[in-house]
Structure 1
Amino acid sequence: MTTDVRPALLTTLCYAAMMCLAVGLNLLPVFLVNIGTSFGGDDPLSREALGRLGAVTFAGLVCGILVTGPLADRYGAKPFALLANLLTAIGLVGMALSDSYQMLLIMVFVLGLGAGMLDMILSPVVAALNPDRRTAAMNWLHSYYCVGAVVTILICTTALALGIDWRAVCWLAIVLPFGLVMGFLPLRFPEMVTEGGRTPMAGLCRRPWFLAALVAIFLGGATELGMAQWLPAYAETSLGFSPVVAGGGLLFFSIAMALGRMVVGALEHRANPYAVMAVGSAASVVLFLLGAFLDNPAWALLACIASGFAGSSLWPTMLAVTADRYPDGGASMFAALAALGNAGGILMPWIVGVVGDLHDLRWGLATSAIAPLLMLPLVGLLFIGAQRTRKLLSA
């Protein structure tokens, strides 16, 4: 039998589930070369075949996000929180048991599907559980993705150093999603909307503030993932560091992101969320340009790592202020926000690569500063809109 809603316990379990999402998205890239050897034998899998694994994982992620939102509004969040963790566990077990490349493709899609469902469902649940502290709770929630990424990378790299097979790591990783299923099972989840009923997506999409929020989270995703995707390659090819140091740069970038979100979470009501995003956007622009053009490689790498701290709060804080403005937006609203944020994370790494081919990777990385630069005035406009609405309601 389910109990009453227990906000503190359920919020903590959602934080752990965000780490499970990180496992689903970060385990494959670390073991990509080993997987290529495992399935290719004397003739390892081609780069296209390995790239297809990542593309299929992301396809599952997008499907999970888009499908879960409308269904969660109808059937509630709990079935999808349970199903997401089960799919993650099934994907990991399937990867460990895969005896063909085709089977592996199916299993990484399942893994991505579970990750997408988690990515979509955790934010509205935590927002509903913490209506008076959404900015803090959302930043804490997304900090645990970074923590999970760091832990996953450390465990996987240690396994590589010790010669432990990637399949064994998959078996080890299923402990977390199975544990979360057991933790979620007896708990009751909050309603996604208030008694006034859900605001339809069609209605939200007619509101200029919401459309601006979609653009803003697109730019937030672009800010975060443009640097994250290219940092190791940039550190190795343009700054001249070894592959080990370049990989360490990404690890410290993830740590910086986790710390940034924890700091914003710890500030609670002491910082205006719009001011937090404005400062983060401005600092990201400066650090991106320093990372791209500083002559000293060590200082340039340090600027790239520090940009993880600066831009860390843009995505979760935008989710929080949108949930504050539209508390009855439901899971569908969060699905739209997550989809646009991930779309920014797809486009910007591609743009960096295109500019890198046309000029060099320094200019490619500098191009990614466009995203936080555009986000800065947009945050100001969103703040003005929120203030006007607040004055009208209090009048």
Structure 2
Amino acid sequence: MTAAAPNYDRTVVACFNGYITQAVINNFMPLLFVTFSASFGIDMAQLSTLISVNFVTQLVVDVLAGRYVDRIGYRPCIIAAHVAAAAGLLTLGLLPTRVADPYPALMAAIVLYAIGGGLIEVMVSPIVNACPSEHKDKAMSLLHSFYCWGQVGTVAVSTLFFALAGRDAWPMMACLWAIVPIVGIALFAVAGDLGCTAGPAIVGTVAAANGDSLQAGLLVGALFPVILLVGVIALRQILYTTRRAG
């Protein structure tokens, strides 16, 4: 009896999610520059430096990744990329408002998630290209469109959140955006194990960061199954569209 051929659909969708993650880390913080200036007293030169550090870090990681990813392996590197992106977004949401000088905290958050973004940029295209598929060209075109969709989604969702919750709630939004790379980790590794292991820790961390508000922690925790459900629906739609186009 012939064994079933391996299914790479989850890996491809995880790569789509990787470009959404990169869109989040490149476009979310600039939405907060006016807030940072008013709340933290950060001037334009410092804000410009934050942008520069983000892209310089990603460029350096791009160069280094080209040398070492093949030696280390694609799977551990792409998982590490999503871990770094999630850690950076959580640092952005949890640390700057709780330290005397928020600027180094903002810088640390940027360096962390820029490392993730640099690795994602280098790795997702080769991963999708390496996955066996009857419609590889269409999958590659669709992959690169996800950064654009992620950029639009980041601005739209963040703007709606700020309109409903107020701009001062931006730390919560940063923590919520961290769910995107965490789901990418729900896809490259084992979603069930990740949810059981990381879910309670994230709920507790978010609750503690919001004055021991269990409601805030449970809100973030409740988004895990919602995002996974949306991911499954999106996967089915993507596969259906690709097969019809073929």
Query: Fold match, TM over 0.5?
Result: yes
CA distance in 1, matches of 2:50, 2:20: 21
Residue pairs, 1:123-134, within 5 angstroms: 123-130=125-132, 133-134=135-136
Residues paired across the two proteins, number: 187
CA contact (8 A) 2:22 2:120 kept: yes
CA distance in 1, matches of 2:82, 2:142: 20
Q: Which runs of no fewer than 5 residues in structure 1 stay unpaired? A: 188-261, 271-395
Q: Which string of whole-angstrom CA distances, capped at 9 and with x for unpartnered residues, describes residues 163-210 of structure 1?
A: 1422111011111211221321149xxxxxxxxxxxxxxxxxxxxxxx
CA contact (8 A) 1:27 1:152 kept: yes
The code of the aligned residue for 1:23 comes to V
| Cα pair distance change 1:130/1:24, threshold 3 Å | farther
Query: Where does residue 81 of structure 1 map in the other structure?
Result: 78
The code of the aligned residue for 2:25 comes to G
Q: C-alpha displacement at 1:75, in angstroms? A: 2.0
Q: Relative contact order (C-alpha < 8 Å, sep 6+): which is higher?
A: 2
**Correspondent of 1:106 among 105, 108, 118:** 108
Query: Where does residue 6 of structure 1 map in the other structure?
Result: 7
CA distance in 2, matches of 1:47, 1:152: 23
Q: C-alpha displacement at 1:154, in angstroms? A: 0.5
CA distance in 2, matches of 1:183, 1:83: 13
Partner-residue secondary structure (3-state), 1:184: coil
Q: C-alpha displacement at 1:132, in angstroms? A: 5.1
Residue pairs, 1:286-297, within 5 angstroms: none
Q: Which runs of no fewer than 5 residues in structure 2 stay unpaired? A: 192-237
Partner-residue secondary structure (3-state), 1:33: helix
Query: Where does residue 28 of structure 1 map in the other structure?
Result: 29
The code of the aligned residue for 1:171 comes to C
CA distance in 2, matches of 1:121, 1:27: 22
Q: 2:182 aligned with 1:178, yes or no?
A: yes
Partner-residue secondary structure (3-state), 1:107: helix
Query: Where does residue 172 of structure 2 map in the other structure?
Result: 168
Residue pairs, 1:293-304, within 5 angstroms: none
CA contact (8 A) 1:60 1:111 kept: no
CA distance in 1, matches of 2:56, 2:6: 33
CA distance in 1, matches of 2:78, 2:187: 11
Partner-residue secondary structure (3-state), 1:182: coil
Pick the structure with greater CA Rg: 1
Percent identity among equivalent residues?
26
| Cα pair distance change 1:26/1:5, threshold 3 Å | farther
Query: Where does residue 63 of structure 1 map in the other structure?
Result: 60
Q: C-alpha displacement at 1:116, in angstroms? A: 1.0
CA contact (8 A) 1:130 1:137 kept: no
Q: C-alpha displacement at 1:10, in angstroms? A: 1.0
TM score, norm. by length of structure 2: 0.69
Q: C-alpha displacement at 1:156, in angstroms? A: 1.5
The code of the aligned residue for 1:28 comes to M
Residue pairs, 1:323-338, within 5 angstroms: none
Q: Which string of whole-angstrom CA distances, capped at 9 and with x for unpartnered residues, describes residues 304-361 of structure 1?
A: xxxxxxxxxxxxxxxxxxxxxxxxxxxxxxxxxxxxxxxxxxxxxxxxxxxxxxxxxx
CA distance in 2, matches of 1:22, 1:59: 16
CA distance in 2, matches of 1:173, 1:269: 32
Q: 2:132 aligned with 1:135, yes or no?
A: no
Task: Report the aligned-residue RMSD.
Answer: 2.4
CA contact (8 A) 2:10 2:187 kept: no
CA distance in 1, matches of 2:146, 2:118: 16
Query: Where does residue 44 of structure 2 map in the other structure?
Result: 47
The code of the aligned residue for 1:112 comes to A
The code of the aligned residue for 2:174 comes to C
The code of the aligned residue for 1:142 comes to H
